[in-house]
Structure 1
Amino acid sequence: MAPRRKLIEVSLPLEEINAQSAREKSIRHGHPSTLHLWWARRPLATARAVLFAQLVDDPSNFVEDYRAEAASGGFEDPDAWAEHRVQQERQRLFGLIIRMVDWDNINDEDLFDEVRAEIMRSTNNDPPAILDPFAGGGTIPLEAQRLGLEAHASDLNPVAVLINKALIEIPPKFAGREPVFPRAAGQRNAWPKATGLAEDVRQYGRWIREEAERRVGHVYPQATLTNGAKSTAIAWIWARTVSCPNPACGIEMPLVRSWWLGKKKGKEAYIVPRVIDGRVDYSIGHDPVGGPLGAQQGTVSRTGAICIGCASPVDLAYIRLEGRAKRIGERLVAVVTEGNRARVYLPPDDEQVRAAKTERPSDAPPGEIPDQALGFRVQLYGMKSYADLFTDRQLNVLTTFCDLVIEARERVLADALESGYAGGSRLEDGGEGAAAYADAVATYLGFAVSRMTDYQSSFATWSNHPKNEVVVHVFGRQAIPMVWDFAEANPLTAGNGSFEIMVQAVSRSLERLPAANAGTAVQADAQRASSTLALISTDPPYYDNIGYSDLSDYFYIWLRRALRDVHPTTLSTILVPKAEELVANPFRHGGKDGARDFFEDGFEAVFAGARRTASTAYPITVYYAFKQSESDESGTASTGWETILGSMVRSGWTVTATWPVRSEFSGRMVGNGTNALASSVVLALRPRPEDAPVTDRRGFIAAMRRELGRALRELQQGGIAPVDLPQSAIGPGMGVFSRYAKVIESDGSEMTVRSALARINEVLDELLTEQEGDFDPTSRFAIAWYRGHGYDAGAFGDAENLARARATVVATLERDGILTARAGKVQLHRPAALPAAYDVLADQHTSAWEALHHAIRIQESEGIPAAGVFLHNASQRSDGAVDLDLVKELAYLLFQVAEKNGWTKDAISFNGVATSWFELVEAGRVVESVSPATTLDFGSLDD
């Protein structure tokens, strides 16, 4: 008997999932991601929906039951009734998903009781345990726990293991308990979930903050204002320096990316450097007229620096040599204090300079940065250890905070015993008494210190944005590039980068965790973990995109300093284990080929282990979001996912469904023309039958053309960004490829995954081109002309020939308002050049091309609501309504053309409209007049 199809293998409410996944990026207070930084987390909304749909039966499994229901009720058309019931049930399940992915409903226990009950019905009250063997930041195990499932997290990286323990293992142990901090328990009657534990984190965090003030407060003196008053400094701005190589100059030249401190109108501030008697003096300027402009914005760029004393150019090679010789210095150039609704910027004085000059602590955390590591560039400048990424003052203060976490644990232990806790064993040994509770509180306090290091570093920077003059944390992306001028936050204030803010973030996150159903987080490599009987849902590493182990050492050295006695096994190594990390790191595996082989062999072992213990009742789910392509004689393919998909296919899996899930805001592209993924694709996989058929190349391509065409429209309707369409199409294409035991090439050899991926790209290009036939003559002409000329002018004769081949003429196209024909030249209008007074309701011949271009113009000038209203009006005309589906298809098609031609600005516009489509349609619905719908009336049978 064939296993029941699960909802994820048939249908999902993608638009709503995508909208909530994108929205989640802007939610900070109380979001689990604020517990501790991890790179490339999946949105909670996505994981929640995927897990639910992975377990819940699709209503199409019950067609025969619905037919029988119709017969017993006397309904004349059982097939129509069955289809109605399938759609009705599917919409009911969609309603549950739509409600549960909304962050505003995260604490609605009645809703989640419904969700859990639905899972229990589909699993015969025996749901499988969920395992993520690449648990990382813990999104999937956490959401499994929220859905009432037994959650297991596994990761080789100890920082990831600690994060997962803090999310799913520790909170259930102490759920519902009162805080032990003296007098804290009396503040309220009930402490649901982990709110009592969160309160203790706040209270003991406050004690650490106060004790730190007593011990190291003197190294952060108040600043003296111009009127002589004292004010608390919130940040210090530093510039790295080298000696000018010009012998006639030789000054301590500052290396600064920008002299600007603040650009708020009327409150502008910038640093004014002056060379006086061979020494650089720094003051603060406020007159915007005299502010830095153009090349004067700073002194350093990607190619080198300029000396402010003699204007000599200084090559980066010289700066690197100075760095390796330990001759790069640091100079305080400004002090920032909090003023009346604005920052106050002061020049450095002797008191501030002296306070910052502390001795480097002898017990600073050990750990060497590899000579070559993914995402690191600092080694070129002589920074060899992780401690080199911090100033001496920061090292002193951070070690003090780590020591205070250890002391705070002893205070928690004493207070817990006083509150009536039994002593018990330690947390790592499975204890739940006073000792374990003290370990738990210390763990979250250690996270607060670790989070603080993301700001307390000489690689944090200062933002001079008018609305956000703050210290910017180190990990704005998954790398540590070289930073020239940096910002040192005051950890003892209540401002950005302070310990108080970090404790607030950790405790808010903790108190909103589900804290139910005991979960486990273990340190293990994915090959071993995947062989368990648990059902897998996982988000594996992205080939060589992120060097997790090297990056996480940045935090690990501080977590180990604070929590080694609390988690002795997890934190037993000096640095994060690296040899077995499943990342294609060329620096670790003898180059590019060795890295690919290591990655490929490792993933094949992971999926082979999972295949051996796989349940036939449920599909596993795997996320991918990798984009990197290479070309050879077989075509263009994605290197990273050639490897991981090949591992799946060779391990005996077949793809049963793929779904694009957007996790970023719309229209995100990089300015140099390359693109950034706005989406992930989730694959549902089942074990491939042992008797799977064999086909040849022609049969594979024919099957793919049939199925990829349908999938292409589903991807476009599902809100996939045009920038991600080629990557997303890999899923449906591989779904065809992976159902065969093998595909035979014309020469008799077995088709490789690389060749299959290249064929998928070719068929996708063909299908996109074939979509041109769906458009009106005006749009077909414009597409062809744009493909050859863009928005540049071309010969009138060529345009006329092209137009006649599409049953129109240039004169008609000019009257339609899409181009101009002057002096023997024809040129398409750019969106920005179209008339703002255009009335789509008055135009009887609006083409898809014209509608798209006006929509772009309005969205980019007036915003999404106005563009949504325009499209709605275009679709509602009684005399030739515009087909909005075709307008959207056109955006996808033109994006492909623009990207291939390197027309970045155009590509951004087309991508922006397509990825905003859901919002545009919703904006149009605001003005829509709803008319009664015509539906089948199934009478009393419809319940």
Structure 2
Amino acid sequence: MSAIADTIGFTSPAAATALECDFPLVEISQIAEQESWRKEINRPIYHIHKWWATRLGSVFRGIVLGALSQPGTDIWAQFYKTHDLAGKVVLDPFMGSGTTLGEAVKVGAKAIGCDINPVSTFLVRQAFTPVSEAELRTAFERLERNVAPEIRHYYQTRDPLTGELIQVLYYFWVKTVTTPEGEVVPLLSRYVFSQDAYPKKKPRAQIVCPSCWGVLEDRYDATDLHCQHCGHEFNPQKGPAAGQYVTTKSGQRYRIKELLPKDGMPPAHRMYAMMALRADGSKVYLPVRDEDLALYVEAQKRLATEVLPLPETSVRSGHNTDQARGYNYTQWREFFNARQLLCLGLLLREILTIDELDIQEQMLCLFSSTLEFNNLFCSFKGEGTGAVRHMFSNHILKPERTPLENSVWGTDKSSGTFSTLFESRLLRAKRYLNEPFEIAFDHDQDGNRAGSRKTVASHPICARRVETWQELAASDYGLMILNGDSSKLPIPTGSVDAVVTDPPYFDFVHYSELSDFFFAWLSPALRQRYPWMAREDSSDQGEVQHKDPRVFARQLASVFTEACRVLKDDGVLAFSFHHSRAEGWAAIYEAINKAGLAVVAAHPVHAELRAASPKTTAKDPISLDAILVCRKKAFAQHQSPALQDVRQTVDTLVARLQTAGLRISAGDRFVIGAAQTLIARAADDLGFEEIKIDLEEIRLLVGPGGGNGDNEPDTTGVELATV
């Protein structure tokens, strides 16, 4: 039987689960694409805190249902039904944000999640902790009463029209360098610092004068301005910074890195403008005045006198941290200015006085989530959209030339602040536990899509959290969340019905290097409570992460081998994967093969929003994941297709997805082709180089791929982020 037949609906006689047969890849991809536009709203439980490469819940619901259902089951017909798969056990050895766990317990199965990263373990525990909204609101109101006024004090300015103090939403900063001649040069590539997300429709923009630093309003594309404050004439489109270089007023050109402080400190900053909220709710842009500078100095002085729970650890060298270290960001506290450190420290200190530990940890999780939007690596997205571009928008720690300082507590007009994330992230996630919903499409009388809606298709998520296998085995609906090396699981052999996961990237995104940013704040607060929080950083020698694909394959094989041990003989191991390079797929093949597994089916599904930040700069963005379905080799009896049949399979699958309205890139075609190649070679025992040659041949057959890895932007030569 060909791979085409397996993929488009024919059941293999050796199949033990529905996931090995037909999979509703079109229907689930359409739902997944809708979910991907607002993941934090459509699956809030997995976005209670930042985690990288969080997969789509609708896709994993389909995977879990297929993995736990008999062959011939119509997965799509079962998708919106309420299930009670009591007694079934699903394992995720790379649980990340907990997507597999949530989708498993929603259909009534037991779930085991393990991650070697302590931040992952902490956030997943918080996501699934049932706490009443009333208790959370009581704790929030206490914080609002005890510490919010102190924080708000440092985010206010005087309205020039009324003389009244009003709240500041955002402060605009710019990095500066000093030339050997003593000239201080701001790293502005243009003097337009705020414009609408759709400037051609709304051309009004905010511009700073390079002479007097006054704030002007004009068109976003203005090229000749006369400052109304000082009379200076300038071109707002031409700032002193361009690429890796800066030009002085006299025309002297310097490489920016050559002008970094020689004392090892990060670059200096200048605060030059702010967006404030008037009493009537309108927003106004204002220049920074002496009173505003004095308020910042006040915060600096207080920070020096307070005893606060601030991070004390260094930024370790690594693939995702060396860019920041190259600009002298060597301590995690240097990612924040003095006002941010003071206000965050005051808030954290007050949170740690909450006696009820469940409530305290929920607030700690919210606090940690707030850090992502309140640091010197954030920037301004513009009017008409969420104002704050968070620090991980590009999956790398890239120093910002024009940082945006958010107001830590925030107002009802803010985004990414403690008060707004309380409503939009924490409470929304808790409500999802009580009423877990799915996205469904409505159709008109002609069968055309007429909108989407939310529909409840699961019982409330109330699985009891247990700590041991014995407790899990004795419970009807249990959830075990582990921290540790997934190649050494405290689970009996042959006890798990399905393994469903999303492995780490092998090259570009090093989770622990990035999660150290949160760990530096969380560890001091939690190290006495949890052994896995008492580390120097969030890394571990057993983590599956390496730039060498062969080393990565060996690391991954150790986890897959353990997963194979605990998996029942008729169970499947299914995981999502995509990569634009042949060596990435060769590493996956080698890991599967060494673990004693074989790929028996592969289903392409929509995985990521095409407009996501890391993908906009990729040469050939990938939006599909391949769902690779594996069985133990001894039980994986199937007829492998010939390599020359793969092209036909790819064409068939691409046609189905395109007919359904999905855009398929050349990179997506390679993902489909590479996955089918793994099926074709499942019965073989090829080496890394042999399978890599096959994959390169498939690339030529199905069309050019491209890109720079796992949807990562090409950052070669990138110095500092531009405005």
Say yes or no: TM over 0.5: yes
Distance 1:135 1:267 in 2: 45
Matches within 5 A, 1:546-561: 546-561=509-524
In the TM superposition, residue 521 of structure 1 has moved relative to its aligned partner by 0.9
1:501 aligned partner, one-letter code:
T
Structure 1 partner of 2:8: none
**Please, which of 527, 536, 553 is the counterpart of residue 499 of structure 2?**
536
Q: Is the 8 A contact 2:366 2:426 kept in 1?
A: yes
2:419 corresponds in structure 1 to 500
Name which one, 1 or 2, has greater alpha-carbon Rg.
Answer: 1
What is aligned with 1:95?
77
- The amino acid that maps onto 2:408 is P
Indicate the SS of the match to 2:508.
Answer: coil
Q: What residue in structure 2 maps to residue 337 of structure 1?
A: 276
Could you tell me how far 1:51 is from its partner in structure 2? Answer: 0.4
Matched, 1:255 2:175: no
Structure 1 distance, partners of 2:500, 2:116, is 17
C-alpha deviation, 1:469, in angstroms:
6.9
* Aligned residue type for 2:593: V
Secondary structure of the corresponding residue to residue 315 of structure 2 = coil
**1:439 alignment counterpart:** 357
User: What SS class does the counterpart of residue 295 from structure 2 fall into?
Assistant: helix
Q: Using a 3 Å threshold, how does the CA distance of structure 1 residues 33 and 651 change in structure 2: closer, same or farther?
A: closer
Structure 1 residues 372 and 620, CA gap change in structure 2 (3 angstroms): closer
- Mapping 1:745-764, distance limit 5 Å: 751-763=686-698
- The answer as to whether partners of 2:324 and 2:398 remain within 8 angstroms in 1 is yes
Distance 1:32 1:622 in 2: 20
Structure 1 residues 607-756: aligned runs within 5 Å: 607-627=560-580, 629=581, 638-665=582-609, 674-689=619-634, 703-706=642-645, 709-710=648-649, 712-719=651-658, 721-722=664-665, 723-740=667-684, 742=685, 751-756=686-691
Structure 2 gap segments, 5+ residues each: 1-11, 197-201, 226-233, 434-459, 465-478, 709-723
> Structure 1 CA distance, aligned partners of 2:535 and 2:193?
42
- Matched AA of 1:467: G
- Distance in structure 2 (CA, Å) of the matches to 1:617 and 1:901: 38
Of residues 140, 145, 149, the one that matches 2:105 is 145
Q: Secondary structure at the match of 2:571?
A: coil
- Name the counterpart of 2:31: 20
List per-residue Cα deviations over 1:398-430 (Å, max 9, x = no partner). 1111111111x22xxxxxxxxxxxxxxxxxxxx
SS at match of 1:520: strand
Q: Report if aligned partners of 2:574, 2:630 keep a CA contact under 8 Å in 1.
A: yes
CA distance, structure 2, for counterparts of residue 392 and residue 659 of structure 1: 50
1:285 pairs, out of 191, 199, 216, with 216
Letter of the 2:287 partner, please give it: P
Please state whether the residue corresponding to 1:285 is helix, strand or coil: strand
- Corresponding residue number in structure 1 for 2:457: none
- Whole-angstrom CA distance in 2 between matches of 1:150 and 1:301: 55
1:345 is paired with a residue of what secondary structure? strand
Give the letter for the 1:644 counterpart.
Answer: I
Which protein is richer in helix relative to its size? 1
Cα distance in 1 between the residues matched to 2:145 and 2:576: 44
Q: Is the 8 Å Cα contact of residues 573 and 631 (structure 2) preserved in structure 1?
A: yes
Measured in 2, the distance between the counterparts of 1:343 and 1:238 equals 18
CA contact (8 A) 1:658 1:681 kept: yes
- 1:348 aligns with 288
- Quote how far apart the aligned CAs of 1:231 are: 2.1
Secondary structure of the 1:354 match is helix
After superposition, where does 1:408-419 map in structure 2 within 5 Å? 409-410=354-355
Question: 8 Å contact 1:530–1:607 — kept in the other structure?
Answer: no
By how many angstroms is 1:616 displaced?
Answer: 2.0
How many angstroms apart in 1 are the aligned matches of 2:235 and 2:706? 33
Q: CA deviation at 1:623?
A: 1.3
Secondary structure in 1 aligned to 2:113? Answer: strand
Q: How many Å separate the matches in 1 of 2:327 and 2:707? A: 38
CA distance in 2, matches of 1:327, 1:574: 23
Task: Provide Cα deviations, 1:55-92, integer angstroms capped at 9, x if missing partner.
Answer: 11122xxxxxxxxxxxxxxxxxxxxxxxxxxxxx63xx
Alpha-carbon deviations, 1:559-617, whole Å to 9, x = none?
Answer: 2344445x4323212321333221115xxxxxxxxx44432221122222223333122
Matches within 5 A, 1:872-887: none
State the partner residue of 2:436.
none
Residue 368 (structure 1) aligned with residue 330 (structure 2): no
Q: Is the 8 A contact 1:531 1:612 kept in 2?
A: no
> 1:157 Cα deviation (Å)?
0.4
Instruction: Give distance in 2, aligned partners of 1:444 and 1:547.
Output: 26
How many angstroms apart in 1 are the aligned matches of 2:393 and 2:35? 17
RMSD of aligned alpha carbons? 3.0
- Alignment partners' CA distance in 2, 1:239 and 1:573: 35
Which residue identity is paired with 1:354? Answer: A
Against the structure 1 CA distance between its residues 671 and 557, is the aligned structure 2 distance closer, same or farther, given a 3 Å change threshold?
closer
Letter in 2 for 1:388: E
For 2:485 and 2:400, the matched residues in 1 are separated by 34
The 8 Å contact of residues 600 and 682 in structure 2, kept in 1 or not, is answered as no
Q: 1:474 is matched with which residue?
A: 391
8 Å CA contact 2:31–2:58 kept in 1: the answer is yes
CA distance in 2, matches of 1:678, 1:477: 16
CA contact (8 A) 2:224 2:235 kept: no
Q: Deviations over 1:199-236 (max 9, x none)?
A: 32233123213311343443233333245343211111
1:456 has 2:382 as partner: no
Change (3 A) 1:477 1:33: farther
Question: SS of the residue aligned with 1:130?
Answer: strand
Post-superposition shift, 1:356? 1.4
The aligned amino acid for 1:602 is Q
Answer yes or no: is the 8 Å Cα contact 2:620–2:706 preserved in 1: no
2: distance between equivalents of 1:691 and 1:471? Answer: 50
Between the aligned partners of 1:400 and 1:666, the Cα distance in structure 2 is 39
Q: Percent identity?
A: 18
Superposition map of 1:897-936 within 5 A: none
Shift of 1:376: 4.4
Is 1:205 the counterpart of 2:140? The answer is: yes
Q: Give CA-to-partner distance per residue, 1:599-641, whole Å, 9 cap, x none.
A: 22211222222233331222111111222x3xxxxxxxx2222
CA distance in 2, matches of 1:456, 1:660: 37
> Counterpart of 1:480 in structure 2: which amino acid?
L
Aligned to 2:445: none
What is the CA-CA distance between 1:165 and the residue it aligns to? 1.0
Alpha-carbon distance change, 297 to 22 in structure 1, aligned in 2, over 3 angstroms:
farther
Are the aligned partners of 1:149 and 1:517 in contact in 2 as well (CA < 8 Å)? no
Task: Output the CA distance in 1 between the equivalents of 2:373 and 2:208.
Answer: 22
Give CA-to-partner distance per residue, 1:349-404, whole Å, 9 cap, x none.
Answer: 11211211214556521111113332541111111011110011111111111111
Letter paired with 2:136: V
**1:399 paired residue among 345, 349, 352:** 345
**Aligned residue pair count:** 621
**One-letter identity of the residue aligned with 1:313:** R
- 2:73 is equivalent to residue 132 of structure 1: no
Do the aligned partners of 1:324 and 1:383 also contact (CA within 8 Å) in 2?
no
Q: CA deviation at 1:763?
A: 4.6
Is residue 446–residue 563 contact of structure 1 (8 Å, CA) maintained in 2? no
CA distance 1:24–1:324, shift in 2 (3 Å): farther
